[in-house]
Amino acid sequence: MAKRALQSAKGAVAFLLVLNDSLKSEGMDQRDPEKESEVKQADGPTTDTLTGLPQNDLNNLEEPALSEQKMYIRGFRLVAITIAIMVSVLLVAIDVNIIATAVPRIASTYNSLHDIGWYGAAYSVAVMALQPTYGTIYTQFSLKWTLSAALVIFGIGSIACAVAPSSSALIVSRSIQGMGGAGIMSGGLNIVADLAPQQKRPMFLALIASVYALAGAAGPPIGGLFVDSRLTWRFAFWINLPLVFIACLILLIFYKEPGRNRPERNLKEKLKELQILPSLLLSGAIVCLFFALQRGGVSHPWSSVGVWPFLLAFAAGLAIFTGLQIYEGEKALIPFRVIGQRTVYSCCIYAATLLVSSSTISYYLPYYFQATKGANARQSGVYILPFVITNTFVTFVTAGSITRCGFYVPFMYVGAAILTIGCGLLHTLFTDSPASAWIGFQLIASIGFGLGIQIPFTAVQVKVPLKDRPIANSLLIFSQSFGSALALSIDQNIFNASLNRFLMKIPSVDVAHVISQDPASITTGVPTGQVIPIREAYGKALQAVMIVPIVAAGIAFLGSLATERGNVKVNEHEE
């Protein structure tokens, strides 16, 4: 594992050096913020080198440029800042994957099996609820200092989680982590605009996506290592602190933020822009929705008082939130000029549904391998690598192709279509499916996911003006987080209801005993004649779950059809 991680690190640094040479070959100089202000417009009509438009026409665009030809970071500073972004993203991505492995041991420590769902949900709800707020913060305050503050908040939450004396304290601490995590990803994406011109940004976005994929592959084994060692699951939180320190140190030393065209406002006016009340309403509504989705049809009927009041509260909270946004107009937490932009709302749908599909596959394929194939936890982690590794490779190939040809929307079409086909094939997996089937079907689905995962962020870089990109990026991250959390809630509901129904058809089976077992040991303590029927019941329940990613991928394809066409080589909004 250590050797593999070292090789990945060397590969990432080599990639950055090659990218730096590419930028250098295009004649881009290292940006000096002090000298930027001294760049003056040449006399007479000139032509912008990026867009090919007359300079006078560019001056009349909505977003004034920092200079007539923006100079981007290169050299060692480029490598250092990119590493800081990768470390920041890794911090968030690997935390989620490590904790997923540690949750059973955490529940055992606190004797709190009923709180398992909230160890992840508390973090996700905080991330989703604060994404729009961070989008506004990044337009009002310093990018460098806001991202550094988010990292520090994440670190404080990690310390609180590591020393949490009870399950309730851990849930609150996970919320604090989420408050910081919400600003880390969006901050990194906003910095990407200062690292390279629009045409080169897909490569940086691919690098960020690859960090998530690497965390998905390495997180569970690392988490298992901590849980089974003297370090215990608490070290999964302590390990975040050195990463926070490294990322903050690099940012504060090497990132010199360029001047921004922000309106002059005092601190009181800026804080008013943050729209705290709408954020609280949105987070409360989301919590109510997840409560209803986890209970409805499983522990409570949909018509019971344990479900419908939560759905009613969700609808009321969402309605009030929407009303406040309409009332605030351009000062809203989510301005209509941003969410109403065709590329933004279509890409939000695309991002959310793509994550519904990938989250279902990543979470429930290990169930398939353990419950129907008899694999242990470590083996199931290896069996899912075709999906994880392939989408990382395809993401890089896609980024290079977009950089070369300029067009990105066709990759959305093809990606969603292939993902739909792959999910349909995964739906057919059963207890007797050969390895060639579950490997091949994963590869197909992974290719589709890899083709499309970074496109929404690329589209925003092209179609959204500079001043609105922080909000647009935050909306995309919100959509991804919401899609992932929504998928797991719906999947859990379908899986539990289906499994109960199929197990009850097996004569004399102890349903409660089977369900309480770890997926890898579901046949422990059951008669030999019930082993195959139990595995088949799990297989049928998992087939029911795999309908969700098929539908989601189909919706993603429809979302791609609504996306405006663009070209990363054409600078539509001056920077």
pLDDT in tens, 237-294: 998 999 999 999 998 888 887 765 555 666 666 666 667 778 788 878 888 887 787 7
Range list of H helices, 116-265:
116-140, 143-162, 167-195, 201-227, 235-238, 240-254
Note the pLDDT of residue 540: 93
On the question of pLDDT at 207 being above 90, the answer is no
Range list of H helices, 374-431:
377-383, 385-405, 409-426
* For range 60-70, the mean pLDDT: 41
Per the CB < 8 A criterion, the answer to whether 381 and 362 are in contact is no
Q: State the Cα–Cα distance between residues 518 and 525, nearest whole angstrom.
A: 12
| 54 phi and psi angles, rounded to 5 deg | -60, 140
pLDDT in tens, 428-453: 999 889 999 999 999 999 999 999 98
More confident residue, 545 or 382: 545
232: left (phi over 0), alpha (psi -120 to 50) or beta: left
Lowest model confidence (mean pLDDT) among 74-78, 233-237, 451-455: 74-78
More confident residue, 360 or 524: 360
Nearest to 271 by CA among 470, 136, 148, 127: 136
User: Can you name the CATH fold of 71-259+267-272?
Assistant: Growth Hormone; Chain: A; (1.20.1250)
pLDDT in tens, 109-167: 887 656 766 777 778 778 877 877 787 788 778 888 999 999 999 999 999 999 999 98
More confident residue, 565 or 293: 565
Q: State the Cα–Cα distance between residues 106 and 174, nearest whole angstrom.
A: 13
More confident residue, 495 or 422: 422
pLDDT in tens, 503-518: 888 888 888 777 766 6
On the question of pLDDT at 61 being above 80, the answer is no
Rounded to the nearest 10°, the torsion over CA 276, 281, 285, 288 is 90
Note the pLDDT of residue 43: 43
On the question of pLDDT at 28 being above 50, the answer is no
Domain ranges (residues) in the chain: 71-259+267-272, 275-332, 337-575
Average pLDDT, the chain: 78
- Please determine whether the domains at 71-259+267-272 and 337-575 fall in the same fold group of CATH: yes
Q: Which CATH superfamily is domain 337-575 in?
A: MFS general substrate transporter like domains (1.20.1250.20)
* DSSP three-state, residue 54: strand
Per the CB < 8 A criterion, the answer to whether 244 and 91 are in contact is yes
Note the pLDDT of residue 547: 95
More confident residue, 188 or 145: 145
Per the CB < 8 A criterion, the answer to whether 138 and 470 are in contact is yes
On the question of pLDDT at 221 being above 90, the answer is no
